[in-house]
Amino acid sequence: MNPDRVARWAALIGDTELAAHPDDPAAHRRAVIAWLEKTGLSPDLVNDPNLPDDPVTRAQWAAHRDVTPERVSQWQRDGTIPPPAIRHAPARAGAGPRGNFHIHSLAVLEASPAAIRPGPTPPDPGVFSPGERVGVSEFARRTGRDRSTIAHALRTHADRAPQRDDRKHYDARELAAFVAGLPGRRGPGRRKREADE
């Protein structure tokens, strides 16, 4: 068990006990079992020798990186991220049709080119007029971004996303500020958070 990997994983999943004691095998085992249960995976996987110390599914890492699971799948197909540690992990009994789970190591993913490549340049709000309202597709087209990634971010961070009107339009400049401040982006919002830490 690698305590550094475990500590990073504990911070990601929000396990404060494990984060405080990342070298405690009993705390780690409890956290892994809880993660398997929450994710809908079979608890038997805790004994699988291929299960990493810091397991994440493709969908979980996609949400962490603010990209779509489809984008992560594309990265795997083109070799930008390595193959999963466990393919087609079995779902927990009674979890229903949850699809196939691919389990990766968080540390391995974060060392991949997909994680260390520079983030996109923040969108220029100046391409929009003050008060202009646009849909996600129009915003993506005019800022050179991926529509599905923006839509995914709006769902994932709905608590701080700009308000959408009845026509499903947003204030374009507010949307630009929202995108610039997403985790992992290198815009003003990102720099401000780093300065506050």
pLDDT score at 162: 92
Domain boundaries of the chain, sorted by first residue: 3-116, 125-196
Least confident of 19-23, 101-105, 176-180, 182-186: 182-186
Per the model's pLDDT, the better-predicted residue between 117 and 70 turns out to be 70
Checking 148-156 for CB contacts under 8 A at 24+ apart, the result is 148/68, 148/70, 148/71, 149/66, 149/67, 149/68, 149/71, 150/179, 152/62, 152/66, 152/67, 152/68, 153/66, 153/178, 153/179, 153/182, 154/178, 156/63, 156/66
Q: How far apart are CA 76 and CA 107, in angstroms?
A: 16
Burial of 106 (0-12, 13-18, 19+ CB in 10 A): buried
Q: What is the DSSP string of 104-168?
A: EEHHHHHTSHHHHSPPPPPP-GGGS-TT-EE-HHHHHHHHT--HHHHHHHHHHTTTTSPP--TTS
pLDDT score at 170: 94
Residue 94 predicted with pLDDT over 60: no
pLDDT score at 1: 66
pTM confidence score: 0.57
Asked if 135 contacts 169 with a C-beta cutoff of 8 angstroms, the reply is yes
Residue 124 predicted with pLDDT over 60: yes
Task: Assign 132 a pLDDT band (cuts: 50, 70, 90).
Answer: very high
Q: 6-33: per-residue pLDDT in tens?
A: 777 878 777 787 877 888 888 888 888 8
pLDDT score at 165: 92
pLDDT score at 188: 37
Residue 128 predicted with pLDDT over 80: yes
What's the mean pLDDT in 123-133?
84
pLDDT score at 119: 53
- Fold that domain 125-196 belongs to in CATH: Multidrug-efflux Transporter Regulator; Chain: A; Domain 2 (1.10.1660)
- How many CB atoms lie under 10 A from the CB of residue 128? 21
Asked if 36 contacts 42 with a C-beta cutoff of 8 angstroms, the reply is yes
Residue 125 predicted with pLDDT over 60: yes
